[in-house]
Amino acid sequence: MRRSHVTTVSLLLALALSACTNAKDVLEPSAIAPPTTSAQTLPATSGSTAAATPAPAPSLSAPAAPAASTPTMPAQSAALSKTRLQVAPIVGASVEAATPLTAELQARARQRGITLAGSTDQTATHVLKGYFSTMSEGSDTTVIYVWDVYDPAGNRLHRINGQQKAPSVNGGEGWAAVAPATMQGIADQTIDQFAAWLGGQAG
């Protein structure tokens, strides 16, 4: 019995010593340093940059940009309200594709405060002429478009061009494969770019 008590006590002492060495290993600075440095680097990207002196500088400059752009907004809106845009017949697109395009051009122009002039209206300030084509690749169809902006005298003032790629519909090719939503998206982009150009002219 005494021998068994001695052995158990020695085992307990050995376990206690091993526990102490493990605790020392965990509490060593070399073991703690990586977590603290990693913990510091993570907040450094989120917290310390926000608290650092360079961070307030961008945050202060960011409000300054809208403040500088706010005076130009009335000029842009004034330029848009004075604009009477005449849309010439679309070249290259089918009637089925041009119909949603024209309807969305009118709706988007109203949203942006641009007045559309009729084809016989002599008070138009700008004339928009569009040229369209399609290109089918596999299951997608790309609509390529070019808009020329003219003054009433026929001088070209600006050009808007781009392309819109979308999955083909109806299993066809060419204009039969172009969804109305694709043409509506082109109309939105066109009016937005036209309005941005007008705003730049006014500024």
Does position 41 have pLDDT exceeding 90, yes or no?
no
Share of the chain above pLDDT 90, in %: 52
Per DSSP, the three-state class of 52 is coil
Alpha-carbon gap, residue 75 to 4, rounded angstroms: 97
Report pTM.
0.62
Q: Which fold has domain 76-202?
A: Rossmann fold (3.40.50)
Question: Where along the chain do its domains lie?
Answer: 2-68, 76-202
Q: How many CB atoms lie within 10 A of CB 201?
A: 12
Alpha-carbon gap, residue 156 to 62, rounded angstroms: 36
- pLDDT tens-place string over residues 135-194: 999 999 999 999 999 999 999 999 999 999 999 998 788 999 999 999 999 999 999 999
Q: How many CB atoms lie within 10 A of CB 197?
A: 17
What contacts 184, CB < 8 A, 6 or more positions away? Answer: 100, 101, 103, 104
Who wins on pLDDT, 89 or 202?
Answer: 89
